[in-house]
Amino acid sequence: MRKNSFAFCGGAYGDEGKGRIVDEFVTTYGKKGFVVVYRDNGGANAGHTVELANGKRVAFHQLPSGIFNKAIVILGKGMVIHPGDLLEEIASVKKITKTEMPTIMIDEMATASLDTHRAFEAALKQWQTGGKGATGRGIAPAYADILLRHPIRMRDIVSKNVDVLMKHYKLYTALLSGLGSDLSSMPVPTINGTMIPVGSKVAFIERTCEQGKKLKKYVQDITAFVEKSWKNPRYAYIFEKAQAIGLDVRWGVYPDVTASDTTFDGIHAASEGTIDPMDISVRAAVIKATYMSSVGTRILPTTMEETLAGRIREDAFEYGATTKRPRGIAYLDIPALSYFARVGKINRLVLTHMDIVYPDTAIKICIGYTKNGKAVSYRPDQEYLLTVKPIYREFEPWDKKEIQHAKQFTDIPKEAKRYISFLEKAIGIKVLLFTTGPRRNQTITRT
């Protein structure tokens, strides 16, 4: 087990608050020495929000949350990177921060996610219902290129490999034509939400090569650095996963799944075998403490009635960081969380939103399912989940202001202590820490 190594993933359906936790760990360990922040999956579909010291909240998509700290930031091989969006994110960091920019290293083997992919995803979404789970950022088509053996790597972009880009554009012209669309005129989203056409072959290649030119100083073969720094205990390693285990194509509810490996196993592949996730000392799943949220078409067994759901949605600002879509709200589901923890090889829990409680409303959580009168377990299958009936247990709420002002575990209300202990026993995993409010200093380590 490697010391000073921490990995954080979403323990449910995404948007659990991983970015804040990663940022706090990077800040803490950055004061002690060298820190590597490693992102190994996803692309511009990820959305993590970080609150700065001045209270300003900033949402990022491809850059890891530790970008505002003095760290070495790695965008790994398992990612699909949109060059234009990434340049915009880097520019926004430069505008906000008054300190030296962190070292950004992009694995040359990371796959490029381009406007052609976004156009194809949009056309496919119109063609079939299977695209309903997509964010419109072209993530699945970019990953599909890998499986179909014609990916464009970031090294192709920075080396201005025009032949590869021409073949790519020709292929996607044919694909969209088959779906009844014209690639050149197809509108695609930018990072700021505006829509632009993909453009002609010449315009697309020129734009992509210009983006590659600007990113060239970041793109490199990172193999030797990762091998050396992983063996060096002076480096703290912090891994930030995108999305969540409940969105993994293997463990999620179709069609609301993503295309990348959302578990810690993805770190092994992205690092080309250098980093075994089981050697990471803390492998934490981040979950919301008193409820769950979900974006997409999936229907969860514990979906909450809208009166309470709407209250939570507004108080906790439950809207997607990338899509801005309002999230569905559900009661905490122990069978689902236990399943995700098992398949995700989790050894710690991080609880967020411990302050989302109401004095007039009991905390209601699902502790099991029945089907046809018999106890059953969780399965990631929508048809199956529509047939199960949740078994609920209610817990007494705690005082919101009291927990928000708590500085250490002994300060929190007794009702909150009992609740945390119950979750640990029910899921079978110890809580590492929990948040008691939206501010950076409202985090308490479990004792």
Report pLDDT for 56: 67
Lowest mean pLDDT among 79-88, 90-99, 394-403: 90-99
Q: Residues 23, 48, 115, 261: which is the catalytic one?
A: 48
Per-residue pLDDT of 48-75, as tens digits, reads 666 666 666 677 789 987 777 789 999 9
Is the backbone peptide bond immediately before 255 cis, with ω within 30 degrees of 0?
Answer: yes
Mean pLDDT, range 178-206, rounded to an integer: 95
Report pLDDT for 325: 78
Per-residue pLDDT of 281-337, as tens digits, reads 999 999 999 999 998 899 999 999 999 999 999 999 998 665 677 899 999 999 999
Report pLDDT for 69: 78
Q: Please provide residue 54's backbone torsions phi and psi, each rounded to the nearest 5 degrees.
A: -85, 5
Confidence of residue 33 (pLDDT cuts 50, 70, 90): confident
The answer, yes or no, to whether residue 31 has pLDDT greater than 60, is yes
Q: Please provide residue 311's backbone torsions phi and psi, each rounded to the nearest 5 degrees.
A: -65, -45
Report pLDDT for 61: 87
Report pLDDT for 393: 98
Q: Which CATH number fits domain 285-445: 2.60.40.2140, 3.40.50.620, 3.90.170.10, 3.40.50.970?
A: 3.90.170.10
Instruction: Output the pTM of the full model.
Output: 0.94
Confidence of residue 96 (pLDDT cuts 50, 70, 90): confident
Verify whether residue 182 is a known catalytic residue.
no
Report pLDDT for 129: 56
The answer, yes or no, to whether residue 47 has pLDDT greater than 80, is no
Confidence of residue 345 (pLDDT cuts 50, 70, 90): very high
Per the DSSP assignment, residues forming a β-bridge with 48 are 60
Report pLDDT for 127: 80
Q: Please provide residue 342's backbone torsions phi and psi, each rounded to the nearest 5 degrees.
A: -70, -50
For 87, the enclosing helix (H) or strand (E) is helix 83-96
Average pLDDT along the chain: 93
Report pLDDT for 53: 61
Domain borders along the chain are 2-108+219-284, 111-215, 285-445
Per-residue pLDDT of 194-247, as tens digits, reads 999 999 999 999 999 999 999 999 999 999 999 999 999 999 999 999 999 999
Biggest CA pair distance of the chain: 66
Q: Residues 15, 115, 156, 248: which is the catalytic one?
A: 15
Per-residue pLDDT of 373-382, as tens digits, reads 999 999 999 9
Helices (H), 128-191: 139-147, 154-158, 162-178
Report pLDDT for 65: 79
Asked whether the beta carbons of 199 and 173 are under 8 A apart, the reply is: no
Residue type, 210: E
Asked whether the beta carbons of 111 and 146 are under 8 A apart, the reply is: yes
Report pLDDT for 306: 95
Report pLDDT for 48: 66
Q: How far apart are CA 352 and CA 289, in angstroms?
A: 6
Superfamily name and number for 2-108+219-284: Adenylosuccinate Synthetase, subunit A, domain 1 (3.40.440.10)
Report pLDDT for 397: 98
Report pLDDT for 361: 97
Report pLDDT for 132: 53
Verify whether residue 48 is a known catalytic residue.
yes
Does domain 111-215 fall into CATH 1.10.300? yes
Q: What is the DSSP secondary-structure string of 369-432? A: EEETTEEE---S-HHHHTT-EEEEEEE----HHHHHT--SGGGS-HHHHHHHHHHHHHHT--EE
